[in-house]
Structure 1
Amino acid sequence: MNRFFLFLVVTAFATAAWRETTSAPGTMAALSKAAIDGAGQAVTLAIGLIGVMSLFLGLMRIAEAGGLLLIIARLLQPLMVRLFPDVPANHPAMGAMVMNFSANLLGLGNAATPFGIRAMEALERLNPHPGTATNAMAMFLALNTSGLTLLPTGVIALRASLGSSDPAAILPTTLIATTCATLTAGFAAWGLARFFPAGSRRTVVKPMDEAPSDVHGAAATQVLPPPPEATLDPQTQAALEETPSLPPYPLWATGLFFAGILALIPLSLAVGAALSAWLVPGLIVLFLLFGAVRRVPVYEQFVEGARDGFQVALRIIPYLVAILVAVAMLRASGALTGFVSLLAPITTPIGLPAEALPMALLRPFSGSGAYALMASILSDPATGPDTLVGWLVSTLQGSTETTFYVLAVYFGAVGVKRIRHTLAAALLADLAGIAAAVAAVHWLYPDV
């Protein structure tokens, strides 16, 4: 992200300098004004986002406190046993992976990260080749980076803050794209494993409290700072600390759960546009009723979640400033116009407008950077949240994950340096997610 940010700013400055001295005097003055305006726009955007972000995080806190995370975990467990045949059903790794996927389904990224790191530590105990990713690790991270999410609350909140007439209408397109990405990740991780052998067997089982080590026995160097601690309700925190072997629901219940998710796809294709206006008020009522049935103090939990939403909105201001300033400078210098006109003949025929291509390229590298870039695109009067480009970048942000960051954090946490086929499977999932997002947006909203 450092190089990407530097590249954007230097490119904008060089383009403006060339145009200033050759064909367009005044470009450099426009560049200066764009940089200042972009910084102010970032703060204004974040302030407008506070209320909507607080609303959605307040609702998610009610669901989390009511045990929805654990309910989904118990529904997922029968499938997990089949996806990870090398991991014993009662092993701590299985419980941590189940909780990680459950948090991702609900869009609770802060909760998913500590569960994921715990899962990698437990999987490392089963690793016969220290320093080399096992098939279970590759499958876990490929599925993790595919970004399977049912509720892209952050994207909906941003769209609402920017005046979208239907901010939740990206739910059907996101569901289609994220489902395709996840299926691709699973099949790719399974199919590629045979072409990337792990090597000679070395049976090493480490206790959970021992620091992970690399193949030479030295303490692993963490490649990134540890992620911030998530604020979890007591029930979920207990699940994290104990990594329980959760009693699964009957297999028929798991089948119904996934049948319901898959049924949402044709339902979205048939009546998604008509039902989208009902989604936000429907979600509010459903989460409140769920909390009430589970005897959750809904008002207190909502306030706690809303407080977190306030902090999240403030925390993203620096990222918004960086990206919005860089994009504003690119636009004022004329470099962005040139880039779009250069790529449009290539990407437009396949349904991907050149304006959305930077978002597709940045998403695997930086989640915060991609979110800020999406905000810049959606707030641009030339595009806006309810145009083809706006629908597409919103779907891309809600249906894919920050591939390289996830791999670096999770593998770095246990000292794995030889990742085998994990990256290939994850990138194939990213490509599938992008293709599915393009197809879904054009299919559901052909008249946009």
Structure 2
Amino acid sequence: MNVVFFALVAVAFVVAAVRQVTWTPPSGAEDPVPPMEALGLGVVDSAESAVTLAIGLVGVMALFLGLMKVAEQGGLLRIVAKALRPLMVRLFPEVPATHPAMGAMILNLSANVLGLGNAATPFGIRAMQQLDRLNPQKGTASNAMVLFLALNTSSVTLLPTGVIALRASAGSADPAGIVPTTLFATICSTAVAILSAKLLQRYFVTPAPGSDEPAGEAGPEVADRPDGDPTQLPETTDKAEEDALPPEAGEAYPVWVSALVLASVAALIPLTVLYGRAIAPWIIPGLIVLLLGFGAAKRVRVYEEFVEGARDGFQVALRIIPYLVAILVAVGMLRESGALELLIEPLSRVTGLIGLPGEALPMALLRPLSGSGAYGVLASIIQDPAIGPDSYTGYLVSTFQGSTETTFYVLAVYFGAVQIRRIRHALAAGLCADIAGVIGAVAVVSWLYG
């Protein structure tokens, strides 16, 4: 993200400088603003709008994290984990069913399904550490590691709470309208992630311990720190702490129950495509009642847990202010300088033919690189009065954010945690999932809101 941030600023400055040198005041215009002066004003306006946006986000973020805290305390994470276990055992045949790696992966994916990103990351790193213990070739990603990372970059998402909160703060009349589109797009990306990881592993054979690595095996080196996203690595724990997983990590429903749950999720696809517009207005009121009712039925102190979760939401909203300021200023400079228009105009002539407008291109390109950067671009797009959150482009970029993952960030964090330097086909599988997510998002948003 360091390179991306500086490149955006530098390109904007150079383009504005060239326009300034060659600028002549337009005839008949009252008080024309020179390009470099417009660039400076754009920087100030972007910084102010970033803080305003974050403050407006506090209330909605607190609401959703409060609701998820109630559900989590009621055992919703445990229910999802028990439903996923039979499927996970079949997807990862090389991982023993009772190994701590299996439990950590189940909890990680369950948290991702529920939109609990803060809970998912520690479980994911723990899963990588446990998978590394099963890895005979240290420093080289195993098939299980690659598949697990591909699933992380494409995980099915039932509730993209962060994006819903951002859309609500931007004045959307239908902030939860992306729930059906996100579900469809993430199912597409997850299916492609599994297929690509399984198919590509045939061409990236893991060398036997002590043997030379075959040609074509080497992948790009992965840094052991994130690229600037606001999620931080947890502190290293000892073996006893790593093995200590919640009880739900080792439990499972009967296979028929898990099959029924998965079939129900699959059945949601045609329902969301056909009746997405009718369902969307019910989602937020229904979620509030259902999640609080679930907590009350489980005898959770719903008010106290809601307040505790809301407090976390308040902290999260404040913590993202520096990231929003950085990326909104960079994008604002790129827009005011005219550089963004120079880039988007030729590309949009091609992508516009498949339902991907030029305004959404920066989001699609930046999402695999940086979560915080993409979040800032999303905020700038839906805050633009000419676009707004409830336009076709607004729904599309919101679905991009909710249905694709920061592939390079996940590579850096998860593989860096266990010093994996040969990533084999992990990047290819993750990018295939990203592309599938974008295609799925364009297809479903075009159907519902095009």
* TM-score over 0.5 for the pair: yes
Change (3 A) 1:182 1:90: same
Query: CA-to-partner distance for each residue in 1:125-157, whole Å, 9 max, x for gaps?
Result: 111111111111111111111132110000000
Give the conservation status (yes or no) of the 8 Å contact 2:108–2:119: yes
Aligned mates of 1:62, 1:80 — CA distance in 2: 26
Q: CA deviation at 1:28?
A: 1.1
The TM-score with structure 2 as length reference comes to: 0.91
- Aligned: 1:420 with 2:424: yes
Task: Report the secondary structure of 2:206's partner residue.
Answer: coil
Partner of 1:17: 17
Partner of 1:431: 435
Task: Report the secondary structure of 2:98's partner residue.
Answer: coil
Q: Identity over the aligned pairs, expressed in percent?
A: 63
- Aligned: 1:259 with 2:269: no
Q: CA deviation at 1:221?
A: 8.6
Query: CA-to-partner distance for each residue in 1:16-63, whole Å, 9 max, x for gaps?
Result: 111122135511111111101110000001111100010000000001
Q: Superposition pairs for residues 170-209 of structure 1, below 5 Å? A: 170-201=178-209
Q: CA deviation at 1:201?
A: 3.6
Aligned mates of 1:52, 1:128 — CA distance in 2: 47
Partner of 1:296: 300
Partner of 2:380: 376
Counterpart amino acid of residue 241 in structure 1: A
Aligned mates of 2:409, 2:164 — CA distance in 1: 23
Aligned mates of 1:24, 1:38 — CA distance in 2: 26
Counterpart amino acid of residue 242 in structure 1: L
Give the conservation status (yes or no) of the 8 Å contact 1:110–1:229: no
Task: Report the secondary structure of 1:194's partner residue.
Answer: coil
Aligned mates of 2:208, 2:340 — CA distance in 1: 51
Aligned residues: 423
Aligned mates of 1:361, 1:425 — CA distance in 2: 17
Q: CA deviation at 1:202?
A: 6.1
Note the residue ranges of structure 2 that are not aligned, 5 or more in a row. 26-33, 212-221, 236-240
Partner of 1:215: none
- Aligned: 1:315 with 2:323: no
Partner of 1:242: 245
Task: Report the secondary structure of 2:374's partner residue.
Answer: helix
Q: CA deviation at 1:376?
A: 0.5
Aligned mates of 1:94, 1:202 — CA distance in 2: 27
Partner of 1:46: 54
Partner of 2:153: 145
- Aligned: 1:103 with 2:111: yes
The TM-score with structure 1 as length reference comes to: 0.91
Q: CA deviation at 1:408?
A: 1.0
Query: CA-to-partner distance for each residue in 1:303-344, whole Å, 9 max, x for gaps?
Result: 011011111110111111111111211222122222222222
Change (3 A) 1:84 1:11: same
Partner of 2:238: none
Note the residue ranges of structure 1 that are not aligned, 5 or more in a row. 204-219, 231-237
Give the conservation status (yes or no) of the 8 Å contact 1:20–1:27: yes
Aligned mates of 1:166, 1:423 — CA distance in 2: 35
Give the conservation status (yes or no) of the 8 Å contact 1:359–1:374: yes
Aligned mates of 1:366, 1:221 — CA distance in 2: 14
